[in-house]
């Protein structure tokens, strides 16, 4: 286990009884969202997550990033 994983593990076990795997999955999803916000493509986010483009789309839509992006692009096109 890396130093970062150990730090995350000890922090997790001290906070609200979250399990390590759940915490790391949550952190991974947040990082994927950050990558997408910085301009990464769905393919790149999918590679980061190890899920492909479909998995990246589902993750980003759960985070509310895909819907906001599409809504803002539609609004820009309407102007």
Looking at the structure of the chain, the number of domains it has is 1
- Top pLDDT among 48 and 77 is at 48
Domain interval for residue 9: 3-78
Determine the pLDDT at residue 12. Answer: 46
Q: What is the pLDDT of residue 44?
A: 92
Q: For residues 1-17, give the mean pLDDT.
A: 51
User: pLDDT per residue over 15-71, tens digit each?
Assistant: 555 678 888 888 999 999 999 999 998 899 999 999 998 888 888 888 888 875 555
Question: How far is residue 62's CA from residue 60's CA, in Å, rounded to a whole number?
Answer: 5
Please provide residue 17's backbone torsions phi and psi, each rounded to the nearest 5 degrees: 65, 20
Q: Measured between alpha carbons, how far apart are the two ends of the chain, in Å?
A: 51
């Amino acid at each position: 286990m890396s130093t970062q994983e150990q730090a995350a593990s000890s922090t997790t076990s001290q906070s609200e009884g979250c399990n390590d795997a759940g915490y790391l999955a949550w952190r991974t999803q947040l990082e994927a969202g950050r990558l997408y916000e910085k301009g990464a493509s769905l393919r790149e986010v999918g590679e980061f997550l190890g899920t492909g483009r479909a998995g990246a789309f589902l993750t980003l839509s759960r985070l509310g990033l895909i819907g906001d992006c599409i809504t803002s692009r539609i609004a820009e096109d309407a102007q």
